[in-house]
Amino acid sequence: MKRGNVLVRIFFRALAPLLLGIAMIGSQAASATPAHAKETHRGGHHHVRKARAHATPVVEFPELTCAKYGRPMGIDAPLTASRVRKGDPYYIEFRYRFSYAIISGHMYDVFGRLDANGRPITRQYVGLFPAGGIFGLYGGAVIPMPGELKPSVRDCTYRPGAAYRVSLTARQYKALLAKVRAALAHPPVWQMEAYNCNHFAAGLGSVAGLKPPANRLLPSFAYIHAFIRANGDKDTSG
C-alpha cells in the first residue's frame, strides 16, 4: 500500500502543471459573459425578463437547465439515431461530447417535453461527473469519487459529437423523473471503470426498455454508438 501511495503521488505531481493549465482555461471560459446575456441591457430589463418567462415552458428541474449559462434551451444536436413515436409527449436523448480533460469524452442525458411535431420544447441536462474537477477525474482511476450531476458550461455550449433521441410515454417519463430525483438526492459515486458517465447515462434508458452494450469499458465516443446498436436502432454515422 505504501508503494502504491508513493506512485499515485508521483503521478499527480507529474500531471500538476498540465492540470493547472487546463483548469485555468476552463475557468476563463466559464467566467466569460455569454453574448445572449447582454441583451438585458437593450430594451430594458423588465421587458426581456417578461419575454423570456413567456418563451420558456415550465421544467421539472430548473437546476438541470442551461439557463445559468445564458441558454435556457441549451444547445441543439444533429441526431445520430432516433426512435421517436408520433404522439409521444416526452423524450430522453443520449449525447456524447468532446472533453479537454479526458480523451474518451463525456456521455450525458438530455430530457424534456416534445411538441406535436416531435421537437424538444424543453431541455434538462443530467450527467455523472466526479467531484473535484480534473483531480477527481484522475483520482477516480484509483478510488471511487463523490459524483455530481448538474450540467457544466461545456454540456450547454459544446456541440455534441453524437445524439440518440428516444421518445417516452407519460408513464415512462414519470419513471424517468423519479430516477433523476433519486439520483439528485443521493448522487452515485464515480469510478473510472466500475461506474462512470456512460453507465449512468445508459442506465436512465431503462425506463424505455433500453439496454446497455455488452462491453462496459468502451470510451464514451465509442460507447454511445455501441448503445445505439445494442438497442437495434440505425446509426447514421456509418
Q: Residue 163 pairs with which residues in a beta bridge?
A: 95
- In sequence order, the β-bridge partners of residue 106 are 97
Q: What is the pLDDT of residue 51?
A: 46
3 three-state secondary structure: helix
Q: Is pLDDT larger for residue 185 or for residue 32? A: 185
Q: Which helix (H) or strand (E) holds 49?
A: helix 45-55
**Phi, psi (degrees; rounded to nearest 5) at 61:** -130, 85
List 114's β-bridge partners, or say none.
Answer: 120
- Residues 33-72: tens digit of each pLDDT: 444 434 344 444 444 444 444 455 889 999 999 999 999 9
85 by Cβ neighbours in 10 Å (0-12 / 13-18 / 19+) ranks as exposed
Residue 168's DSSP bridge partners are 90
- pLDDT one-digit tens code per residue, 154-170: 999 999 999 999 999 99
User: What's residue 164's pLDDT?
Assistant: 98
| Mean pLDDT of all residues belonging to the chain | 84
What number is the average pLDDT over the span 135-139? Answer: 92
Q: Determine the residue type at 26.
A: G
Q: How confident is the model at residue 25 (pLDDT cuts 50, 70, 90)?
A: very low
